[in-house]
């Protein structure tokens, strides 16, 4: 892929922050003694699990929806997603009183379907594969004239997600590292652009599950490696980085660390037990990364921000490691 | 029982607040749109699950330990508990650098044992019944000269737990009702005394699991009915009210509502899913109470404080209702 990195500016992210402020939560940045003791670092947990809809996704979705024209708003929005973007878009559409059409794969987690339906969106089922999802979304778009809102390969979405970093650096200007999970890359790109424009020396560390390490492999090889068959317990991170996000990752992310599903679930459990924050496996990756031999130990000497990206857990199918 | 209600004054609770302030967290009082919508009320959740040691118990334990003489501190403290009081006392003892001896029944939850041991306390195992626990604690006390700190039938403990109400009414002076779980009664008594001394018209509603409803039965019959064989998923509420707490409950608590284990687990799951707060079953009772036909509907017209008493869940043995 030879896309030129698109320009998303600090100004666009600051404008997004002003735009979405009345509609989303400013989430707390918490510390926890036990996690500090175990990691040897000074950690600050950005609790996007407390965000509306249970994940950071409400930021980007709100930023995109609020920029629709009146005519576009009448026709509503469409996306395909089995997860947090679906919930966020449905929630924002409801609050703006516009129609939302969400293409969800058959077999999607019941709790997520319940939440999407609870926000008043129309759910359209399709075969559980990416092609079928894309085709169905296209069909819905043609039939309804709804605007397609991509979960991450969309400048307004990326700018919205970048507001997480602006908030963190206001809450603690001393942060020298931010650790971010990478799925499609919308969050890490927005955060990296916002953080580096504000604090040029800040280090951005992305984290991927070992079974969905397309960005890691792309960064290692210097060329875009799309995700083909992601296998990980972190359901929010099964997406492939895209045409917009990959060049931005290459440009702005300092390092990507991979973590195994076992370490993700160990960390999830640690966070649940010791912080009482209900986070989803995607969020636990950033805690697991601290234990990786690849994690730069010098980062532990100064304040580190960890983005707990969401808390939408499938409570019906929790799997703990049996070794405990 | 014809005990005269002991005097615990607002001043003692205010002094406890000053005493423990440097050692415990001031926990947040949060609201949640979904819970408000579902209940039709204006709810304020006091997050004692974020308290040190994961439960309100750190307040009372800190208040008691800080009032020990230097000689008493050298000999340390002893208690019997399978749960949150054990963790809290161990934690406070560690922070004060004094020995703690915790009598725990065989078969106590592994996570709780891990936490107690992690705080550096000495765990002494005993047979899993109340008599064995009391006998073993007595024996340890004789051998070590440690001071016995009862989990609730202790004025300093009750005064410490009462600081929860002072904090809530500072955070939201408009609260007209406080809903509190009842186990041994230390929390509800401290809260009721503090709240009514501050706002005489405030209503205090206690909640008990249907399978551990000794305070409810006592209040109904007007005479003390001790708990004999409590059966409930809310492990923190299996205690019997005591000589100190029962007369105070009779004097200060306006109403007690009972909730079934099924409703408790439904509410726990609702809170987890929609607020991302990891709470234990004892905490979920106060949310379940809102749905009870016995809950006074007029209370929903003004702000209600709900005390989420703790978040120490046995993650290894989570049981969901199968009907979902």
Residue-wise pLDDT tens digits, B139-161: 999 999 999 999 999 999 999 99
SS3 B239: coil
Closest CA to A274 of A262, A263, A282, A284: A284
* Minimum Cα–Cα distance from A271: chain B residue: B278
Which residues of chain A neighbour B315 with C-beta distances below 8 Å? Answer: 269, 272-273, 320
Residue A267 C-alpha, separation from nearest chain B C-alpha, in angstroms: 13
Q: Which residue has the higher pLDDT, B1 or B275?
A: B275
pLDDT: is B239 or B45 the higher one? B45
Say if the Cβ atoms of A315 and B49 lie within 8 Å.
no
Distance CA A153, CA A174 (A): 31
Verify whether the Cβ–Cβ distance A316 to B320 is below 8 Å. Answer: yes
> Using CA atoms, how far apart are residues A193 and A9, in angstroms rounded to an integer?
7
Which candidate, A84, A41, A39, places its Cα nearest to that of A61? A84
Contact A272 B278 (CB under 8 A): yes
At residue B81, the pLDDT reads 85
Q: How many other C-beta atoms can be found within 10 angstroms of the C-beta atom of residue B70?
A: 6
Long-range contacts of B94-97 (CB under 8 A, 24+ apart): B94/B119, B94/B120, B94/B121, B95/B23, B96/B65, B96/B66
| Sign of the four-CA dihedral B8, B14, B18, B21 | positive
Strand order, beta sheet including A147-148: A122-126, A100-105, A77-80, A147-148
Question: Of residues A46, A52, A81, A82, which has the active-site annotation?
Answer: A82
> Is A82 among the residues known to form the active site?
yes
Contact B191, B161 (CB under 8 A): yes
Q: Which residue of A has its CA nearest to B273?
A: A312
* pLDDT given for residue A324 in this prediction: 37
Position B324 pLDDT exceeds 50 = no
**What confidence score (pLDDT) does residue B316 get?**
76
Q: What pLDDT digit, counting tens, does each position of A202-222 carry? A: 999 999 999 999 999 999 999
Confidence of residue B131 (pLDDT cuts 50, 70, 90): confident
DSSP B73-129: HHH-EEEE-SSHHHHHHHHHHHHHT--EEEEEETT--HHHHHHHHHTTPEEEEE-SS
Q: Which of B52, B81, B82, B141 is catalytic?
A: B82
B320 with A320: Cβ contact below 8 A: no
Chain A residues in contact with B316 by the CB 8 A cut-off are 320, 324
Phi/psi of residue B137, nearest 5 degrees: -65, -40
Cα torsion angle, B269, B274, B280, B285, sign: negative
Within 8 A of A323 by CB-CB distance, chain B residues are none
Contacts of A70 (CB under 8 A, 6+ apart): none
- DSSP letter, residue B183: S
Domain B10-56+155-323 has CATH 3.40.190.10: no
Q: Which residues of B touch A (CB under 8 A)?
A: 28, 49-50, 54, 111, 269, 272-273, 276-279, 311, 313, 315-316, 318, 320, 324
Q: What is the pLDDT of residues B74-128, one digit of tens each?
A: 999 999 987 889 999 999 999 999 999 999 988 877 878 888 998 999 999 999 8
Among A88, A137, A20, A101, smallest CA distance to A236 is for: A88
Tokens representing residue A288 in the block: 């697991």
Q: What is the pLDDT of residue B314?
A: 81
pTM score, whole prediction = 0.91
| Candidates B52, B57, B141, B196; catalytic one | B57
Q: Which pLDDT band, with edges at 50, 70 and 90, does B322 fall under?
A: very low
**Looking at this predicted complex, what is its ipTM?**
0.88
Q: What is the mean pLDDT of residues A150-162?
A: 97
Pairing between β-strand A43-47 and β-strand A29-30 as defined by DSSP bridges: antiparallel
Q: Which residue carries 């000999």 as its tokens? A: B75
| Burial profile A260-273: b = 16 or more Cβ within 10 angstroms, e = fewer | ebebbbbbbbbbbb
The predicted pLDDT at position A323 comes to 39
Give the tens place of pLDDT for each residue, B199-235: 999 999 999 999 999 999 999 999 998 887 889 999 8
Per residue in A79-95, pLDDT tens? 998 788 999 999 999 99
Matching residue, tokens 């408000």: B36
List, for residues B160-172, the tens digit of each pLDDT value. Answer: 999 999 999 999 9
| Of residues B232, B28, B266, B121, the one with CA closest to residue A277 | B28
Handedness of CA A10, A14, A19, A23 (dihedral sign): positive
Is the sign of the CA dihedral A155, A157, A163, A168 positive or negative? negative
Q: What is the pLDDT of residues B263-292, one digit of tens each?
A: 999 999 999 999 999 999 999 999 999 999
User: Which chain A residue's Cα is nearest to B278?
Assistant: A276
Which residues, in sequence order, are CB contacts of B58 under 8 Å at separation 6+? B23, B24, B51, B52, B88, B91, B92
The catalytic residue among A46, A52, A57, A112 is: A57
Contact A185, A152 (CB under 8 A): yes
> Do the chains contact at B318 and A318, CB–CB below 8 Å?
yes
Phi-psi map region of A97: left, alpha, beta (phi>0 left; psi -120 to 50 alpha): left
Is B57 labeled as catalytic in the residue annotation?
Answer: yes
Residues of B in contact with A278 (CB under 8 A): 272, 276-278
* Sheet strands side by side (includes A255-259): A29-30, A43-47, A304-308, A177-181, A203-209, A255-259
> How many CB atoms sit inside 10 A of residue B41's CB?
20
Given a cut of 80, whether residue B5 has pLDDT beyond it is no
Distance from CA of A318 to the nearest CA of B (A): 10
- Give the length of chain A: 324
Is a pLDDT exceeding 50 seen at residue A55? yes
Residues of A with CB under 8 A from a CB of B: 28, 47, 49-50, 54, 111, 269, 272-273, 276-279, 311, 313, 315-316, 318, 320, 324
How close A254 gets to chain B, by Cα (Å)?
Answer: 31
| CB < 8 Å to B49, chain A | 276
Q: Is the pLDDT of residue A169 over 80?
A: yes
Which residue carries 């001071």 as its tokens? B147
Cβ separation A324–B316 shorter than 8 A: yes
H, E, C per residue of chain A:
CCCCCCCCCHHHHHHHHHHHCCCCCCCCEECCHHHHHHHCCCEEEEEHHHCHHHECHHHHHHHHHCCCCHHHHHHCEEEECCCHHHHHHHHHHHHCCCCEEEEEECCCCHHHHHHHHHCCCEEEEECCCHHHHHHHHHHHHHHHCCEECCCCCCHHHHHHHHHHHHHHHHHCCCCCEEEEECCCCHHHHHHHHHHHHHCCCCEEEEEEEHHHCHHHHHHHHCCCCCCCCCCCCCHHHCCCCCCCHHHHHHHHCCEEEEECHHHHHHHHHHHHHHHCECCCHHHHHHHHHCCCCCCCHHHHHCCEEEEECECCCCHHHCCCCCCC
Is B272–A279 a contact, with Cβ atoms under 8 angstroms apart? no
Start-end of CATH 3.40.50.1100 domains in chain B:
10-56+155-323, 58-148
Q: What is the pLDDT of residues A259-290, one digit of tens each?
A: 999 999 999 999 999 999 999 999 999 999 99
Taking the C-alpha atoms of residue A26 and residue B124, their distance in angstroms, rounded to an integer, is: 46
Query: What is the CATH topology of the domain spanning B58-148?
Result: Rossmann fold (3.40.50)
Contact B276 A279 (CB under 8 A): yes
Give the residue from B276, B280, B320, B321 with the most A CB atoms within 10 Å of its CB, the best one to mutate: B276
Residue reference for tokens 């003489």? B69
Residues, chain B: 324
Does A316 contact B311 at a Cβ distance shorter than 8 Å? no
Structure tokens, A15: 């404008």
> In DSSP terms, which residues pair with A46 in a beta bridge?
A29, A307
Residue A284 makes CB contacts below 8 A (sequence gap 6+) with A234, A264, A265, A267, A268, A271
Do A276 and B279 lie within an 8 Å CB cutoff?
yes
């Amino acid at each position: 892929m030879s896309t030129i990195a698109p320009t998303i500016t600090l100004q666009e992210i600051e404008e997004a922050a002003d735009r979405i402020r009345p509609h989303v939560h400013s989430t707390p940045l918490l510390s926890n003694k036990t996690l500090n003791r175990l990691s040897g670092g000074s950690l600050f947990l950005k609790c996007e699990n407390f965000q509306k809809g249970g994940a950071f996704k409400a930021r980007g979705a709100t930023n995109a929806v609020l920029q629709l024209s009146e005519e576009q708003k009448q026709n509503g929005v469409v996306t395909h997603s089995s997860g947090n973007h679906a919930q966020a878009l449905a929630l924002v559409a409801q609050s703006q009183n516009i129609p939302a059409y969400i293409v969800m794969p058959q077999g999607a987690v019941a709790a997520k379907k319940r939440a999407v339906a609870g926000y008043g969106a129309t759910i359209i089922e399709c075969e559980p594969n990416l092609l079928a999802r894309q085709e169905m979304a296209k069909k819905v778009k043609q039939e309804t004239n709804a605007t397609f809102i991509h979960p991450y390969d969309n400048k307004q979405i990326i700018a919205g997600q970048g507001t997480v970093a602006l908030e963190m650096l206001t809450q603690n200007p001393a942060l020298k590292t931010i650790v971010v999970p990478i799925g499609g890359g919308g969050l890490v790109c927005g955060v990296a652009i916002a953080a580096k424009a504000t604090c040029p020396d800040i280090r951005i560390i992305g984290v991927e599950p070992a079974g969905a390490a397309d960005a890691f492999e792309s960064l290692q090889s210097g060329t875009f490696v799309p995700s083909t068959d992601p296998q990980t317990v972190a359901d929010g991170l099964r997406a492939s980085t895209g045409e917009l996000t990959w060049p931005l990752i290459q440009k702005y992310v300092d390092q990507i660390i991979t973590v195994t599903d076992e370490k993700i679930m160990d960390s999830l459990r640690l966070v649940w037990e010791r912080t009482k924050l209900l986070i989803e496996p995607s969020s636990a990756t950033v805690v697991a990364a601290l234990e990786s031999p690849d994690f730069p130990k010098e980062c532990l000497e100064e304040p580190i921000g960890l983005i707990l990206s969401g808390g939408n857990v499938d409570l019906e199918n929790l799997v703990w490691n049996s070794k405990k």
